[in-house]
């Protein structure tokens, strides 16, 4: 006894569209048309650059009111946090933290200022 194609997870032949999944028992469908274009006739990027030149600026300007405020806000947060991080890791930032936490008194352990050498 030969196992059937559906038992082997095989798809039905090209003339049948209904019948293998659960064996629905209906008549074969007729009149189903499929169309295709040869890959040699397709132009996948036809008009892509041309469409962007004419419509791209308009589309960007239409989305700018929605995109600009969050971008500016998060750039401001980034700029502030970068400067704060650099300050906290500097000698002055360490000194100010020690003063704020009460480990040293203000004016104690001041760094001497060095005058630049004149040329």
Domain boundaries, the chain: 70-112
Gap between the Cα atoms of 65 and 87, Å rounded: 34
Question: Could you read off the pLDDT of 42-77 as tens digits, one per residue?
Answer: 887 887 787 777 788 888 899 999 999 999 999 999
Tell me the whole-structure pTM to 2 decimals: 0.47
If you average pLDDT over every residue of the chain, what do you get?
A: 79
What is each CA distance from 68 to 15, 47, 73, 82, in whole angstroms? 56, 28, 8, 21
Which pLDDT belongs to residue 41?
82
């Amino acid at each position: 006894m030969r196992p059937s194609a559906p038992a082997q997870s095989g798809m039905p032949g090209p003339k049948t569209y209904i019948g293998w999944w659960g064996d629905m028992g209906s008549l074969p469908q007729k009149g189903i048309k499929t169309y295709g274009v040869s890959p040699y006739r397709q132009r996948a990027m036809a008009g892509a650059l041309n469409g962007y030149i004419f419509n791209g600026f308009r589309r960007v300007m239409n989305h700018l009111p929605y995109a600009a405020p969050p971008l500016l806000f998060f750039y401001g947060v980034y700029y502030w946090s970068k400067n704060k991080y650099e300050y906290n890791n500097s000698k002055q930032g360490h000194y100010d933290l020690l003063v704020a936490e009460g480990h040293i008194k203000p004016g104690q352990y001041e760094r001497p200022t060095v005058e630049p050498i004149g040329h």
